[in-house]
Amino acid sequence: MKILTCVAAVLMAICVPAAFAGESIYEAALKAPGRLESDLKRDETSKPDEIMAFFDIQTGMKIADLFAGGGYYSELLASVVGEEGLVVSHNNQAYIPFVKEELEARYTEGRLPNVKRLLKEAEQMELGESQFDAVFLVMAYHDLFFKDQGWDIDAEKFMSQIKAALKPGGKLCVIDHIAKDGSGTDDAKTLHRIDPAFAKSEIEKAGFKFMRSTDVLKNTEDDHSKSVFDKDMRRRSDRFVFLFEKKS
């Protein structure tokens, strides 16, 4: 009887989530060993533990991180979803030159085995149907309206792929830089910002139900007139955080 009691105690110790020790799974992800120094610095202004908690990301989920860039959120999400979950980290070819070194550092020696990297153009991501519990679109929704030589995305087609790829009731998690009220997509190319009201309306038209928002990334010192790459704005822009759900 004592042996069975001891075994049960050991198994409980192994299975108890971090929250039982006074630490959430999101806080634990930030403290995971081997994270890049640049990621630790970004944590200060991106507040990813609060963001992932707001979106209610859970162990075992399958998540697509679209236009993932250097993979900052892909790694954090991989830590939260654990071995039973999966993160598909997507980029298109145009992103790669800007994040090549970061990607090499992040994925060296197979350090993120539950992340599958996907290099596909925006209109042909091949995400499948009803595959994902959540899709992350971080600081990238405005890029659907950025028009330039070699970059012209069909926003309607892009969003239709996301809707198809999500399971019924799946989450669409959107974070982006705020543009001035009523500006629509005017600042998408010049300032890399987008009007939150426009984004919300267009995403709803694409077949998603708006669930809630949070001001966790709000910055009242940002008057929305500068590029998000300005030295005063880098990682400090006023950002909206929207949670949508796929309509049936």
Distance (Å, whole) CA 155 – CA 150? 15
Mean pLDDT, all residues of the chain: 91
pLDDT value for 248 = 80
Q: Does residue 24 lie in a domain region? A: no
pLDDT value for 179 = 98
Predicted TM-score (pTM) of this structure: 0.90
Residues 95-144: pLDDT tens digits? 899 999 999 999 998 899 999 999 999 999 999 999 999 999 999 999 99
Q: Does residue 2 lie in a domain region? A: no
pLDDT value for 93 = 93
Residues 197-244: pLDDT tens digits? 999 999 999 999 999 999 999 999 999 999 999 998 999 999 999 999
Q: Does residue 40 lie in a domain region? A: yes
Residues 16-33: pLDDT tens digits? 344 445 689 999 999 999
Q: Does residue 52 lie in a domain region? A: yes
Q: Does residue 3 lie in a domain region? A: no
Contacts by residues 33-42 (CB-CB < 8 Å, ≥ 24 positions apart): 34/111, 35/75, 36/102, 36/105, 36/106, 38/102, 39/72, 39/75, 42/72, 42/235
Residue 13 near residue 77, CB atoms below 8 Å: no
pLDDT value for 124 = 95
pLDDT value for 52 = 98
CATH, residue 88: 3.40.50.150
Position 167 pLDDT exceeds 60: yes
Position 3 pLDDT exceeds 80: no
Position 48 pLDDT exceeds 80: yes
pLDDT value for 21 = 54
Q: Does residue 27 lie in a domain region? A: no
Q: Does residue 10 lie in a domain region? A: no
DSSP the chain: -HHHHHHHHHHHHHH--GGGGT--HHHHHHT-TT--HHHHHHHHHH-HHHHHHHTT--TT-EEEEET-TT-HHHHHHHHHH-TT-EEEEEE-GGGHHHHHHHHHHHTGGG--TTEEEEE--GGG----SS-EEEEEEES-GGGGG--BTTB---HHHHHHHHHHHEEEEEEEEEEEEBPPTT-TTTTTTTTS-B-HHHHHHHHHHTTEEEEEEE-TT--TT--S-S-TTSTTTTTTS-EEEEEEEE--
| Domains held by the chain: number | 1
pLDDT value for 23 = 86
Domain limits at 230? Answer: 34-246
Residues 52-97: pLDDT tens digits? 999 999 999 999 999 999 999 999 999 999 999 999 999 999 989 9
Q: Does residue 7 lie in a domain region? A: no
pLDDT value for 207 = 97
Q: How confident is the model at residue 50 (pLDDT cuts 50, 70, 90)?
A: very high
pLDDT value for 159 = 98
